[in-house]
Structure formats: structure tokens, C-alpha cells
């Protein structure tokens, strides 16, 4: 039986990956999460509740920024560590830079030190397309198109985490794989992410808060495609950086129209000034993942339809979830 540690197991991608893995009788998952208040903790508790019914899953409330907490998992003999714990959000990172450095850089360095001490042979470090900034019409390629300095505190904290892990584990036999995600959405998503916020606001008759004119294009990637990409990496021994995203871009205005049509509800949009350092187009080069025989398979309309179906099923549980930061009006 494989013994895997997943950090951020109560988070969006961490939950969806863990849910997929524990369906296998051959995998035992230890999930850790600090259950911090980066966004509404009730959503994290809802995810965790669904995981804890499985005998192959064990949860530990651990803060990775505290080195003493690693004593709780010392000697666990993990075959693989999948590091999905992070503090996400570009706009918020400029307001709270210290929290992002602590959660995304120092925590990753601490985890790398633990992996080195324990002799763990495989380490997946989730990272972000935010490192690239604006791609224009040319797909962003790993190791070529990173921006220096990165365009946000969030991106800087994630890239710093990548580099810290590589430096700490240099000279060891640990295989380091760094998947960089492109605008992930889907069931159990973070309430500060655009598609889930748009669905909630349209359903509740709340004005959509949209930064900029809505023509910004993103590589919206359905979470099931991200999970299948991560599983491809788990099964591979190839180290390196891997973009995981959709190779088709869609504008925010187009997304809103798709949601309106699917729900048969017309929205009202409250246009706000464009966010600081927001980018026009983000699109990935997927060659590294295609070499592992992975491709995204979920179209944006199908993914939105599945997300709406999930939202409506859980509307009662989600009605009190905060879908705005405190600074948003």
C-alpha cells in the first residue's frame, strides 16, 4: 500500500485529489491542513467532513510554518509528499505580504527540510501560472517565460518556495516535480475564485463584482483535469516543472454569459477599476505534460455546467459562505 502525505488536504485541489486517491484501496493518505482563515473556514470543514468518512484517510491539523509541528509526522515513512497547502490570491497578497511569505515560502522550505531528513524520494510542489505574468498570444513555457521579478507578492512567494525546495534538496535522490496550475475551477472551489463567485452572485441576485472590462482571458481549467494531471505526475519519475492548464482561453465576459445561459438568469455587473498588475491573457505551453500523455479533456461549458450542478446541490450549505474579501464593497 502506498503511503502518501497531502498538505492542504482541506483545500480546493487538495480535497479533490485526496478524494480521488482514497477511492483506491492501495493508497493510504495522511492529510494535513492548518485550517486557517485565508477564506471561509466552513467550506474547508465541509470538504474535510467528506474525507474523514474513509478509513484510508487520516487528518492532522498542522501548521507547516512551525518546524516543531513536524514532530507529529516524524518517522511516518511516506512514499511521496504532495504539497498543495498555500495561501492564494494575487490582490490580497499585496495587502498581507508577510502571511504569503510565511505560508508559501517558509512553509515549503520547512517541508523540504523534513523530506530531506526523512529520506522521502518524491516531492510534488504545487505552484502557479502567476509566476509568468501576461503571456500575450504566446503560450508560456516552463524555464523560459518566468518573470523576474514576478508580477505579484503571491507569485514571488510561490517561486521562492520552488527555489528553496530545490536548494535544500540539491544533492539528494528526491524527485522534485513542480506542477504550475492555470486558473482552476470546479466543485468545492475557493469562494474568491471568479467562476464560483459568479455562479453564487447570479443565483442570489447579487451584482457581479468585476475588476476591469471583463475582456481579460484566462486558461480556465476544470479541477478533474488538474487531478488527472497530478496523478500522471505521481505515476512518473520525471522531475521538472509542468504546466497544468487548458490550452484554450476564455474571457471573463464569456464566462459570465455561459453561466447566465446555463442558469437562465440575467446578471447585473458592477465594473470596478482593474486590479493592480492584472494581466490580459494567460495561456500555457503544455508540451511537458503532453509528454506524459496528459491533456485537459473538460470544455469550459461542460465544466461550468458541472460546477453549477454541484453548487445548486449544496446551495443550503453554501448560503452563509463569504464570497468577498473584507476590503471588497
pLDDT, tens digit only, all 329 positions of the chain: 799 999 999 999 999 999 999 987 789 999 999 998 888 889 999 999 999 999 999 999 999 999 999 999 999 999 999 999 999 988 889 899 999 999 999 999 999 999 999 999 999 999 999 999 877 778 989 988 888 788 899 999 999 999 999 999 999 999 999 999 999 999 999 998 999 999 999 999 999 999 999 999 999 999 999 999 999 999 999 999 999 999 999 999 999 999 999 999 999 999 999 877 788 888 999 999 999 999 999 999 999 999 999 999 999 888 888 886 655 65
**What pLDDT sits at residue 104?**
96
203 domain residue, yes or no: no
313 domain residue, yes or no: no
The pLDDT tens digits of the residues spanning 57-77 come to: 999 999 999 999 999 999 999
- pTM beyond cutoff 0.85: yes
37 domain residue, yes or no: yes
Integer Cα distance of 299 and 302 in angstroms: 5
Q: Which residues of 305-329 are buried (b: 16+ CB within 10 A; e: fewer)?
A: bbbbebbeeeeeebeebebeeeeee
**What pLDDT sits at residue 134?**
79
**DSSP symbol at 236:** -
The CATH number linked to 97 is: 3.40.50.720
Which of 221, 187, 194 minimizes the C-alpha distance to 297? 221
28 domain residue, yes or no: yes
**What pLDDT sits at residue 328?**
63
**What pLDDT sits at residue 325?**
65
Q: Domain of 37?
A: 2-186+221-246+283-296
324 domain residue, yes or no: no
- Catalytic residue ranges: 154
| Total count of domains within the chain | 1
78 domain residue, yes or no: yes
Residue found under cell 535522490: 173
318 domain residue, yes or no: no
27 domain residue, yes or no: yes
Integer Cα distance of 196 and 179 in angstroms: 23
Amino acid at each position: 500500500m502506498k503511503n502518501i502525505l497531502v498538505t492542504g488536504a482541506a483545500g480546493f485541489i487538495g480535497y479533490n485529489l485526496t478524494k480521488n486517491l482514497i477511492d483506491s484501496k492501495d493508497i493510504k493518505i495522511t492529510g494535513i491542513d492548518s485550517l486557517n482563515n485565508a477564506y471561509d473556514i466552513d467550506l474547508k470543514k465541509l470538504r474535510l467532513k467528506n474525507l474523514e468518512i474513509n478509513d484510508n484517510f487520516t487528518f492532522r491539523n498542522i501548521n507547516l510554518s512551525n518546524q516543531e509541528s513536524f514532530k507529529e509526522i516524524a518517522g511516518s515513512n511516506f512514499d511521496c509528499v504532495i504539497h498543495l497547502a498555500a495561501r492564494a490570491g494575487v490582490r490580497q497578497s499585496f495587502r498581507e505580504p508577510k502571511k504569503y511569505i510565511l505560508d508559501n515560502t517558509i512553509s515549503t522550505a520547512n517541508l523540504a527540510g523534513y523530506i530531506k531528513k526523512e529520506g522521502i524520494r518524491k516531492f510534488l510542489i504545487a505552484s502557479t501560472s502567476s509566476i509568468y505574468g501576461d503571456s500575450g498570444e504566446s503560450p508560456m513555457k516552463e524555464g523560459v517565460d518566468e518573470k523576474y521579478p514576478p508580477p505579484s507578492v503571491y507569485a514571488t512567494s510561490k517561486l521562492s518556495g520552488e527555489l528553496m525546495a530545490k536548494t535544500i534538496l540539491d544533492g539528494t535522490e528526491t524527485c522534485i516535480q513542480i506542477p504550475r496550475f492555470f486558473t482552476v475551477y470546479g466543485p468545492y472551489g475557493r469562494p474568491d475564485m471568479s467562476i464560483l463567485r459568479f455562479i453564487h452572485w447570479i443565483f442570489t441576485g447579487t451584482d457581479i463584482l468585476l475588476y476591469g472590462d471583463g475582456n481579460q482571458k484566462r486558461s480556465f481549467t476544470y479541477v478533474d483535469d488538474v487531478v488527472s494531471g497530478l496523478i500522471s505526475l505521481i505515476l512518473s519519475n520525471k522531475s521538472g516543472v509542468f504546466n497544468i492548464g487548458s490550452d484554450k482561453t476564455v474571457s471573463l465576459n464569456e464566462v459570465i454569459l455561459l453561466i447566465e445561459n446555463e442558469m437562465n438568469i440575467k446578471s447585473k455587473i458592477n465594473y470596478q477599476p482593474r486590479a493592480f498588475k492584472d494581466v490580459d491573457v494567460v495561456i500555457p505551453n503544455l508540451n511537458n505534460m503532453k509528454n506524459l500523455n496528459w491533456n485537459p479533456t473538460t470544455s469550459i461549458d461542460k465544466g461550468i455546467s458541472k460546477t453549477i450542478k454541484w453548487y445548486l446541490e449544496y446551495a443550503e450549505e453554501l448560503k452563509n459562505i463569504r464570497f468577498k474579501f473584507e476590503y471588497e464593497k
